[in-house]
């Protein structure tokens, strides 16, 4: 099993584009909406060092956990979805010759009480974009992907930001990948609303990286509708890098 991509260079600009999903280690693209391993690898290498304690509080399909294991970091992974936790545990079944460790726990990102104040060296996570992709059908009350109202969603993300600020060590970084949507033909800037919530908690904005989206589901269908109804397809996400002040 290959544990590293065949070609990899650390990104040096504020525009990132990864047309292909990572095919090394146990990475798969079968968890809808999971982020690219190249994004995670860039973040871990830029904003942490070996044996640092990382946190992904919405771990989804386990992409972050895989890269943290390969790159010799300690990581705490949480999610409210049992399927996500099961998928993450399965993705970690491979051997590495380092001292990496993984802690996986079912937990609401707004209530990380089992993590001590200033215990974490680097946070990186890819939350849902309100209910654009639903990861449960309402049976998980804590699942933020069941929230349709954007203001309510961003308010709840503010509670996540408060907890992340608490557990992060001073001057350390927090990376959030978040995208936007349309409602009633109008552009809805979810990302900037979430950014504002993090700033209100005391974070400073280190970087705003534009990540190009590829292989979006139903893109061909929506491309035709874009021409017929005069709107542009949203083909980017915001990768915010915050620093604890």
pLDDT tens-digit series, residues 9-42: 999 999 999 987 788 999 998 887 789 999 999 9
CA–CA separation, 24 vs 43, rounded Å?
17
Whether 219 has a pLDDT exceeding 80, the answer reads: no
At 65 the pLDDT is 98
At 9 the pLDDT is 94
> In the β-sheet with 15-17, what is the strand arrangement from edge to edge?
15-17, 203-212, 236-244, 168-179, 120-125, 53-56, 74-79, 101-106
pLDDT tens-digit series, residues 119-141: 999 999 999 988 788 888 777 88
**Whole-number percent of the chain with pLDDT over 70:** 98
Mean pLDDT of 145-159: 94
At 220 the pLDDT is 72
Quick one: pLDDT band at residue 216, thresholds 50, 70, 90? low
pLDDT tens-digit series, residues 166-190: 999 999 999 999 999 999 889 999 9
At 29 the pLDDT is 83
Catalogue the long-range contacts made by 139-145 (C-beta closer than 8 Å, 24 or more residues apart). Answer: 140/80, 140/81, 142/80, 142/108, 142/110, 143/80, 143/81, 144/58, 144/109
| CATH numbers and ranges of domains, the chain | 19-244 (3.40.50.150)
């Amino acid at each position: 099993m290959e544990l590293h991509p065949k070609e990899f260079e650390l990104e040096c600009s504020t525009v990132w584009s990864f047309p292909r999903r990572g095919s090394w280690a146990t990475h798969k693209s079968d968890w809808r909406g999971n982020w690219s391993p190249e994004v995670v690898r860039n973040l871990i290498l830029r904003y942490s060092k070996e044996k640092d304690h990382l946190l992904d509080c919405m771990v989804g399909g386990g992409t972050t956990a895989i890269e943290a294991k390969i790159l010799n970091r300690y990581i705490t992974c949480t999610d409210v979805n049992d399927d996500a936790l099961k998928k993450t545990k399965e993705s970690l079944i491979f051997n590495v010759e380092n001292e990496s460790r993984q802690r996986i726990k079912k937990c609401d990102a707004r209530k990380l009480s089992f993590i001590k104040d200033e215990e974490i060296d680097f946070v990186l996570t890819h939350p849902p974009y309100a209910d654009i992709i639903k990861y449960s059908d309402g049976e998980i009350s804590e699942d933020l992907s069941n929230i349709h109202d954007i203001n309510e969603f961003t308010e709840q993300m503010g509670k996540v930001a408060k907890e992340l600020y608490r557990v992060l060590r001073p001057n350390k970084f927090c990376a959030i990948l978040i995208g936007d949507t349309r409602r009633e033909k109008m552009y809805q800037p979810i990302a900037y609303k979430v950014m504002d919530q993090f700033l209100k908690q005391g974070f400073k904005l280190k970087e705003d990286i534009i990540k190009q989206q590829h292989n979006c589901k139903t893109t061909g269908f929506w491309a035709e509708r874009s021409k017929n109804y005069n709107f542009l397809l949203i083909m980017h996400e915001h990768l915010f890098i915050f620093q604890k002040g």
